[in-house]
Structure 1
Amino acid sequence: MSRHLPRSLSLTLCVLLAFPPAYAKTPVATGNGGAVATISDQASHAALSILNKGGNAIDAAVAAAATLGVTDPYSCGIGGGGFMVIYLAKEKRVITIDHREMAPAASSPTMFQENGKELDFDTAVASGAAVGVPGTVRGWHEALSRYGTMSFKQVLAPAIEVANKGFPVTENFRHMTAENEKKFQAFTSTSALYLKDGKALPVGTVIRNPGMARAYREISDKGQQAFYSGPMARAIVAAVNQPPVASGLRIRPGNMTLADLANYEARIRQPVRSTYRGYEVFGMPLPSSGGVTVAEALNILEAYDLKAMPRANAEHLYLEASRLAFADRNAYLADPEFVDAPVAGLLNKDYAVRRRAHISATRASGKAAPGDPYQFQNDPSAPQRPQPARMMAENMHTTHLALSDKEGNIVSYTFTIEAWGGSGIVVPGYGFLLNNEMTDFDFSGTNPNLPEPGKRPRSSMSPTIVFKAGKPVFTVGSPGGATIITTVLQTIVNHLDFGMPMDAAINAPRLSQRNDATTDVEPGFDGTVQSQALEKLGHKWTAKPEEIGAANAIVFNADGTVTAVSEGKRHGVGSALVQKPAQKTR
Structure 2
Amino acid sequence: MHIRLALCTIVLTITTTAQGKTPVATGTGGAVATISEQASQSALAILNRGGNAIDAAVAAAATLGVTDPFSCGIGGGGFLVVYLAKDKRVVTIDHRETAPASYTPAVFMADGKELDFDSVVASGLSVGVPGTVRGWHEALQRYGTMSFAQVLAPAIDVANKGFTVNDNFSHLVAENTAKFRKFPATAALYLRDGKPLPAGTLLRNPDLAKTYGILSKGGVKAFYEGPIAHAVVDAVNRPPVAAGVNVRAGKMTLADLANYEARLRQPLHSTYRGYDLYGMALPGSGAVAIGEALNILEGYDLGKLPRAQAEHLYLEASRLAFADRNAYLADPEYVDAPVAGLLSKEFAARRRALIDGRRAPAAPVAAGDPYAFQNDTSVPLRPAPVPLQKESAHTTHLTVSDKDGNVVAYTFTIESWGGSGITVPGHGFLLNNELTDFDFSGPAPNVPEAGKRPRSSMAPTIALRNGKPAFTVGSPGGATIITTVLQTIVNYVDFGMPMDEAIAAPRLSQRNGAMTDVEPGFADTAQAKALAAYGHRWSPQPEEIGAANAIVFNPDGTVTAVSEKHRHGIGSALVQRRGH
**Is TM more than 0.5 here?**
yes
Deviation at 1:447, TM superposition (A): 1.2
Deviation at 1:381, TM superposition (A): 1.9
Whether the 8 Å CA contact 1:370–1:386 is kept in 2: the answer is no
Of 119, 126, 134, which aligns to 1:123?
119
Matching residue of 1:12: none
Q: Is the partner of 1:521 in helix, strand or coil?
A: coil
Q: Is the partner of 2:230 in helix, strand or coil?
A: helix
Deviation at 1:344, TM superposition (A): 0.3
Matching residue of 2:289: 293
Q: Give, as a single letter, the amino acid of the residue that structure 2 aligns with 1:549.
A: G
1:432 aligned to 2:429? yes
Matching residue of 2:134: 138
Deviation at 1:24, TM superposition (A): 3.6
Matching residue of 1:172: 168
Matching residue of 2:512: 515
Q: Is the partner of 1:61 in helix, strand or coil?
A: helix
Q: Give, as a single letter, the amino acid of the residue that structure 1 aligns with 2:405.
A: G
1:531 aligned to 2:532? no
Matching residue of 1:392: 389
Write the mapping of 1:118-517 to structure 2, written as runs, cut at 5 A.
Answer: 118-365=114-361, 366-517=363-514
Unaligned runs of 5+ in 1: 1-20
Write the mapping of 1:92-107 to structure 2, written as runs, cut at 5 A.
Answer: 92-107=88-103
1:83 aligned to 2:70? no
Q: Give, as a single letter, the amino acid of the residue that structure 1 aligns with 2:41.
A: H
Q: Following the alignment from structure 1 to structure 2, what is the Cα–Cα distance between the partners of residues 530 and 276?
A: 26
Whether the 8 Å CA contact 1:89–1:409 is kept in 2: the answer is yes
Q: Following the alignment from structure 1 to structure 2, what is the Cα–Cα distance between the partners of residues 511 and 103?
A: 32
Q: Following the alignment from structure 2 to structure 1, what is the Cα–Cα distance between the partners of residues 384 and 72?
A: 31
Deviation at 1:206, TM superposition (A): 1.1
Whether the 8 Å CA contact 1:32–1:578 is kept in 2: the answer is yes
Matching residue of 2:6: none
Q: Can you list the C-alpha shifts for 1:179-205, whole angstroms capped at 9, x where unaligned?
A: 000000000111011111211011111
Whether the 8 Å CA contact 1:445–1:451 is kept in 2: the answer is no
Q: Is the partner of 2:375 in helix, strand or coil?
A: coil
Deviation at 1:446, TM superposition (A): 1.8
Matching residue of 1:9: none
Matching residue of 1:70: 66
Unaligned runs of 5+ in 2: 1-16
Q: Following the alignment from structure 1 to structure 2, what is the Cα–Cα distance between the partners of residues 56 and 291?
A: 25
Q: Give, as a single letter, the amino acid of the residue that structure 1 aligns with 2:135.
A: G
Whether the 8 Å CA contact 1:495–1:505 is kept in 2: the answer is yes
Q: Is the partner of 1:520 in helix, strand or coil?
A: coil
Q: Following the alignment from structure 2 to structure 1, what is the Cα–Cα distance between the partners of residues 109 and 578?
A: 55
Matching residue of 1:5: none
Q: Is the partner of 1:577 in helix, strand or coil?
A: strand
Q: Following the alignment from structure 1 to structure 2, what is the Cα–Cα distance between the partners of residues 236 and 371?
A: 42
Q: Following the alignment from structure 2 to structure 1, what is the Cα–Cα distance between the partners of residues 549 and 448?
A: 31
Percent identical among aligned pairs is 72
Of 552, 555, 568, which aligns to 2:552?
555
Q: Can you list the C-alpha shifts for 1:438-480, whole angstroms capped at 9, x where unaligned?
A: 1000001321100000000000000001111101110000000
Q: Is the partner of 1:33 in helix, strand or coil?
A: coil
Q: Is the partner of 1:331 in helix, strand or coil?
A: helix
Q: Can you list the C-alpha shifts for 1:310-330, whole angstroms capped at 9, x where unaligned?
A: 000000000000000000000
Deviation at 1:580, TM superposition (A): 2.2
Q: Is the partner of 2:397 in helix, strand or coil?
A: strand
Q: Which moved more, 1:419-428 or 1:194-203?
A: 194-203
Of 35, 39, 47, which aligns to 2:43?
47
Q: Following the alignment from structure 2 to structure 1, what is the Cα–Cα distance between the partners of residues 261 and 523?
A: 45
1:32 aligned to 2:28? yes
Q: Cα RMSD between the aligned structures? A: 1.1
Whether the 8 Å CA contact 2:367–2:385 is kept in 1: the answer is no
Matching residue of 2:14: none
Q: Can you list the C-alpha shifts for 1:495-553, whole angstroms capped at 9, x where unaligned?
A: 00000000000000000000000000000100111000000000000000000000000
TM-score normalised by length of structure 2 = 0.96
Runs of 4+ displaced beyond 3 Å: none
Q: Following the alignment from structure 1 to structure 2, what is the Cα–Cα distance between the partners of residues 233 and 300?
A: 46
Whether the 8 Å CA contact 1:387–1:448 is kept in 2: the answer is no
TM-score normalised by length of structure 1 = 0.95
Deviation at 1:116, TM superposition (A): 1.1
Deviation at 1:581, TM superposition (A): 7.8
Matching residue of 1:580: 577
Deviation at 1:386, TM superposition (A): 2.7
Q: Is the partner of 1:412 in helix, strand or coil?
A: strand
Whether the 8 Å CA contact 2:331–2:453 is kept in 1: the answer is yes
Q: Is the partner of 1:84 in helix, strand or coil?
A: strand
Q: Can you list the C-alpha shifts for 1:116-138, whole angstroms capped at 9, x where unaligned?
A: 11111110100000000000000
Q: Following the alignment from structure 2 to structure 1, what is the Cα–Cα distance between the partners of residues 311 and 188?
A: 47
Q: Is the partner of 1:511 in helix, strand or coil?
A: coil
Q: How many residues align?
A: 561
